[in-house]
């Protein structure tokens, strides 16, 4: 029995990155032999075991044979006669098909080290086409490492698209890869890579439609909406690690990629089209409810921040209420971060001050102090209490807006 360090841990070490999780492949063993040595079996689809002391994953060397569509359509063969090279050959990309022996020797039958050096994502074998998740993984690695896709790999992906392989992707897997991509330093590369290999229109048509559509705002020169949204999600990544904010930044302008007749009546503006498209995207990918909720509110109200000085106090209060901010005050920070990313997602605006952010937060801090107790003590009951609270909150906002206008 021989064990080798494999996959991402070897790749990241060669790139000089910190290694968080180590995966091992075991050659020349059987499931029973692993159990006899104290390993705990955990794999459902193929033999994977946890080391009795380190609890790291050890998988028996295996081969895979395609038997049906999608990523589940495989028959796995794990046996003592499966070699390390055979196991590496089933992997997706050359940079993930490098192994390291216990003495530090690298086993690299597909020249993954050369592709790491040249920052290229290249498939290991034609079997790449058999698993549609690999397209998403490739785009995620492009975002994480800022690598480009080899021409021959792009050709294979086009074959997958023509064969309808991407239609078999399970929503949860798409969301898992999207979530990981949003956690990278430059998530825009995930989407631009998918567009480069012609997969964006299939996987995220709402985003693909944004490219080529003018982004017109009165306070900034015209810019392509797709480019703007890419800049916005990268700004969101710069501002926060919160995936909910980054996803909201992605969805905030989806409605600009459609005409009113595509989804809603003519009189409905792009903000409401963005809400509808965001909801449809979240339902399709089964996005967690809290992330979906924030994205829909940002789609609906992000322009309010840019126009804050023009809004009536009652309208400003409506935004706080819609965000459910009095029960979930953290929503204010999330909302403002997404709005700030939107503002900065334009050439020349990356580092400009945005006074409306502080002003909106000041409004909330002031009206949050209004409670029901004084009104109850004064004898009010029932709906009269809520009405009195809203009136006082609006008056406080009005005082702040008057001061802001005087100082402008």
* pLDDT at residue number 264: 44
Let me know if residue 406 belongs to a domain. Answer: no
Let me know if residue 230 belongs to a domain. Answer: yes
- Which stretches of the chain drop beneath a pLDDT of 70? 66-74, 216-221, 259-270, 405, 407-408
> How many CB atoms neighbour CB 32 within 10 A?
9
Q: What is the pLDDT of residues 374-390, one digit of tens each?
A: 999 888 888 999 999 99
Q: State which of 112, 145, 166 marks the end of a domain.
A: 112
**What's the mean pLDDT when you consider all of the chain?**
90
The answer to whether the CB of 305 falls within 8 A of the CB of 336 is yes
Let me know if residue 129 belongs to a domain. Answer: yes
Let me know if residue 390 belongs to a domain. Answer: no
322 and 345 assigned to the same domain = yes
294 and 344 assigned to the same domain = yes
* pLDDT at residue number 177: 97
* pLDDT at residue number 71: 54
Let me know if residue 264 belongs to a domain. Answer: yes
Q: Report the predicted TM-score, pTM, of the whole model to 2 decimal places.
A: 0.89
* pLDDT at residue number 265: 45
Structure tokens at 355: 């006074």
Phi, psi dihedrals of residue 26, rounded to the nearest 5°: -115, 125
Domains identified in the chain, total number: 3
- Specify the CATH number for the domain of residue 144: 1.10.110.30
98 and 126 assigned to the same domain = no
DSSP label at residue 48: E
User: How many whole angstroms separate alpha carbon 293 and alpha carbon 315?
Assistant: 20
* pLDDT at residue number 402: 77
User: How many whole angstroms separate alpha carbon 268 and alpha carbon 278?
Assistant: 15
12 and 50 assigned to the same domain = yes
260 and 304 assigned to the same domain = yes
- Specify the CATH number for the domain of residue 4: 3.30.460.10
* pLDDT at residue number 268: 47
303 and 164 assigned to the same domain = no
User: How many whole angstroms separate alpha carbon 148 and alpha carbon 142?
Assistant: 6
Residues in the chain: 408
User: How many whole angstroms separate alpha carbon 40 and alpha carbon 47?
Assistant: 10
* pLDDT at residue number 73: 54
User: How many whole angstroms separate alpha carbon 43 and alpha carbon 246?
Assistant: 33
Let me know if residue 386 belongs to a domain. Answer: no
Q: State which of 168, 203, 238 marks the end of a domain.
A: 203
For 125, the domain range is 119-203
Phi, psi dihedrals of residue 383, rounded to the nearest 5°: -60, -20
3-state secondary structure of 116: helix
CA-CA-CA-CA torsion sign (261, 265, 267, 273):
negative
193 and 263 assigned to the same domain = no
* pLDDT at residue number 222: 77
338 and 225 assigned to the same domain = yes
327 and 250 assigned to the same domain = yes
64 and 175 assigned to the same domain = no
Let me know if residue 40 belongs to a domain. Answer: yes
Structure tokens at 193: 């890579």
Q: State which of 112, 146, 174 marks the end of a domain.
A: 112
Q: What is the pLDDT of residues 305-343, one digit of tens each?
A: 988 988 999 999 999 999 999 999 999 999 999 999 999
Phi, psi dihedrals of residue 166, rounded to the nearest 5°: -70, -20
User: How many whole angstroms separate alpha carbon 151 and alpha carbon 114?
Assistant: 16
255 and 346 assigned to the same domain = yes
Let me know if residue 131 belongs to a domain. Answer: yes
75 and 138 assigned to the same domain = no
CA angle 270, 218, 242 (to 5 degrees): 60
């Amino acid at each position: 029995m021989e064990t080798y360090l494999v996959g991402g841990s070897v790749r990241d070490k060669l790139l000089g990155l910190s290694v968080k999780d180590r995966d091992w492949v075991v050659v020349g063993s059987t499931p029973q032999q692993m159990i006899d040595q104290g390993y705990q079996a955990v794999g459902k689809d193929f033999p994977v075991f946890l080391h009795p002391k380190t609890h790291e994953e050890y998988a028996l060397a295996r081969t895979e044979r395609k038997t049906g569509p999608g990523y589940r359509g495989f028959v796995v063969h794990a046996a003592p006669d499966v070699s390390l090279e055979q196991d590496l050959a089933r992997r997706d990309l050359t940079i993930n098909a490098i192994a390291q022996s216990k003495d530090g020797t690298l086993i690299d039958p597909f020249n993954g080290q050369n592709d790491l050096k040249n920052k290229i994502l290249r498939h290991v074998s034609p079997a790449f086409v058999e698993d549609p998740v690999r397209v998403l993984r490739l785009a995620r690695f492009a975002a994480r490492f800022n690598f480009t896709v080899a021409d021959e790999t792009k050709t294979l992906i086009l074959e997958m698209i023509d064969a309808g392989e991407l239609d078999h992707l399970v929503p949860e897997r798409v969301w898992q890869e999207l979530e990981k991509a949003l956690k990278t330093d430059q998530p825009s590369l995930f989407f631009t890579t998918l567009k480069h290999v012609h997969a964006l229109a299939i996987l995220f048509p709402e985003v693909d439609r944004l490219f080529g559509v003018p982004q017109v705002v009165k306070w900034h020169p015209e810019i392509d909406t797709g480019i703007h949204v890419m800049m916005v999600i990268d700004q969101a990544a710069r501002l926060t690690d919160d995936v909910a904010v980054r996803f909201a930044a992605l969805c905030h302008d989806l409605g600009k990629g459609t005409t009113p007749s595509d989804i809603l009546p003519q009189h409905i503006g792009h903000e409401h089209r963005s809400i509808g498209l965001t909801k449809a995207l979240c339902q399709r990918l089964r996005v967690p409810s809290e992330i979906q909720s924030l994205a829909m509110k940002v789609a609906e109200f992000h322009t309010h921040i840019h126009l804050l000085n023009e809004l009536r106090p009652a309208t400003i209060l409506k935004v706080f209420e819609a965000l459910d901010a009095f029960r979930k005050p953290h929503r204010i920070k999330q909302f403002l971060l997404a709005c700030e990313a939107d503002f900065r997602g334009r050439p020349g605006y990356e580092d400009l001050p945005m006074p409306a952010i502080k002003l909106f937060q000041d409004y909330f801090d002031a009206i949050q102090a209004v409670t029901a107790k004084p009104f109850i003590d004064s004898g009010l009951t029932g709906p009269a209490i809520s009405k009195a609270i809203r009136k006082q909150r609006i008056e406080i906002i009005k005082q702040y807006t008057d001061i802001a206008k005087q100082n402008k």
